[in-house]
Amino acid sequence: GNLYCIDYAPPNEAFPYNIAEEGSPMTTGEQAKPGAIKRRTFGSAFESTLLKIEKSGAVISAAFILIMMVMTTIDTSLRFISKPITGVYELETMMMVVIVYFGLSFIQSQRGHIRMDLLSSKLSESNQLLLNFLSDVIFLCIAVLITWKMGDAAWKAWLTNDYYEGVVRFAMWPAKGAIALGTGLVSIRLISDIIRNPLWFSKTGSGAARSVRILFAVVFIAALAGVAVALINADLKPHVAGYYM
């Protein structure tokens, strides 16, 4: 029943909004007294929730891989008696979309995407942070555009009852919606990574060098945002190359 006044520790470099997570020191210089209430910041709660959603997407992706393996094995076996499963090829094509895009955000959270570090490994720590930041911003711009366009395409496919041409006609909106969901989730992850990038809070290098890095990052974001707005307003339409006989 006693009340204690808690002095929160300063934010760490990894996540600037993290004031006092569960299991971390609650007071400066000493542990919180027994009975003190542990509080979680919005940032840590958001990161925990996002990671749980990403893990769920990865589990769904893995489950679809297992289903595809079983379906392919059964279909191949039945071909020996000339009774293959109708529509397996079309269905597995749609399932592949879920496999790729539902696991995309979790891989990004683990920094597990394939990268070439032949040159980046030679850079200083601060420049590596800047390089990671630039790659995240470029990835974010692409992911946001894909989310927007595929979300619109999924909605139109739902309204027009669009379907996949094949032996079995599967609706197209689930696959297009899966792409929009996957890229939308990775967009949220990238925004979180950009905010939490230690580039903004790194103490390495001189003050002038840190200011230049931050200024360059801000200008880079503004330039990409301008390009994205220009592309959105350009009303681009596909063009057919060549001619039909």
| Nearest residue to 178 via CA among 105, 74, 75, 113 | 105
- Of 21, 4, 1, 3, the closest CA to residue 12 belongs to 21
Q: Write down the pLDDT at residue 99.
A: 93
Tell me the three state secondary structure of residue 144: helix
Distance of CA 162 to the CA centre of its chain: 28
Residue 201, token pair as written in the block:
């809070």
Per-residue pLDDT of the chain (245 residues; tens, 9 = 90+): 444 333 333 344 334 433 334 434 333 344 444 544 455 687 788 888 999 999 999 999 999 999 999 999 998 888 888 788 888 888 888 899 999 999 999 999 888 887 777 777 777 777 777 788 888 888 888 898 899 989 999 999 999 988 887 778 888 999 999 999 999 999 999 988 888 877 776 665 556 666 666 676 677 777 766 766 666 666 655 554 444 44
CA distance 68 to 99: 10
Which amino acid belongs to residue 114?
I
φ, ψ at 163 (rounded to 5°): -140, 165
Note whether 141 and 149 are within 8 A (CB): no
Question: pTM above 0.85?
Answer: no
Looking at residue 69, what is its pLDDT? 93
Residue type, position 150, single letter: M
Calpha distance 207→4 (Å, rounded)? 39
Q: Give the pair of three-digit tokens for residue 64.
A: 């679809």
Strand, helix or coil for residue 36: coil
Torsion sign over Cα 196, 201, 204, 206: positive
Amino acid at 217: A
Query: pLDDT value at position 186?
Result: 93
Helix (H, G, I), strand (E, B) or coil at 141: helix
43-50 long-range contacts, CB within 8 A, separation 24+? 43/15, 43/16, 43/17, 43/18, 44/15, 44/17, 44/18, 46/192, 47/15, 47/192, 50/109, 50/188, 50/189, 50/192
Long-range contacts of 190-193 (CB under 8 A, 24+ apart): 190/108, 190/136, 190/137, 190/139, 190/140, 190/143, 191/140, 192/46, 192/47, 192/50, 193/108, 193/136
Which of 166, 108, 162, 164 lies closest to 138, judged by CA? 108
